[in-house]
Amino acid sequence: MTETARMRGLWTLAGLAMLVGAILTVTTLRQAGQARIRLAALGRDLEGLQRLDARLGSYLAAQTAFEQLATPKAAGLADVLERTLPGCKLDQSKEVSSQPTPGWVLRRQEISLSDVPFAKVMEFVRAAEAQRPPWRLAKFTIRASAREPGTGQAVLQMEALERAR
């Protein structure tokens, strides 16, 4: 191998090394731009999470204060019904309980009443909401009676949140 061939080979290798270096530089710059965009997005996400964390602290403090309150078991709706609508016929009553969060029980009771004056139904709802812990009207359906104005069938879904025993 002659000296010129050796020099040409070295120059070729040097040119290839420069070309590979230039390609790697361009690739790295592109990746750095994409990484900068991803980091900016992650920074915005982190700020949002920090705001949520600050709000969570106040919610947890409120939950702790609420849990320290002594809450008896919610009164039975049959007693409230008897006081507000004496003699009213209870067609059907279904009760379901669930535990939305540890230490608490959500009671749902569906009550179906026939031939009831609608004004009196609202008195029953107000009396149930006045209980401690209160019952809350979650859903209702009324069907008017053709026989007597202002009366009909009422289906009420009531909810009460109470401490688990």
- Could you read off the pLDDT of 3-48 as tens digits, one per residue? 888 888 889 999 999 999 999 999 998 898 888 899 999 999 999 9
For 152: left if phi > 0, alpha if psi spans -120 to 50, otherwise beta; the answer is left
47 with 86, same domain?
no
Q: For residue 70, what pLDDT is reported?
A: 58
What is the percentage of the chain residues whose pLDDT exceeds 70? 96
* DSSP line for 3-60: HHHHHHHHHHHHHHHHHHHHHHHHHHHHHHHHHHHHHHHHHHHHHHHHHHHHHHHHHH
Q: Which of 6-15, 41-50, 60-69, 128-137 has the lowest mean pLDDT?
A: 60-69
> Of 37, 69, 101, which marks where a domain is finished?
69
Angle at 106 between CA 99 and CA 111, to 5 degrees: 135
Confidence of residue 139 (pLDDT cuts 50, 70, 90): very high
Give residue 91's pLDDT: 77
DSSP state of 123: H
CA distance 120 to 125: 9
State the residue range of the domain holding 18: 1-69
For residues 109 and 149, membership in a common domain is answered with: yes
Based on the fold, state whether residues 159 and 94 are members of the same structural domain: yes
Of 116, 100, 119, whose CA–CA distance to 108 is shortest? Answer: 100
pLDDT at 136: 93
Is-above-0.85 flag for pTM?
A: no
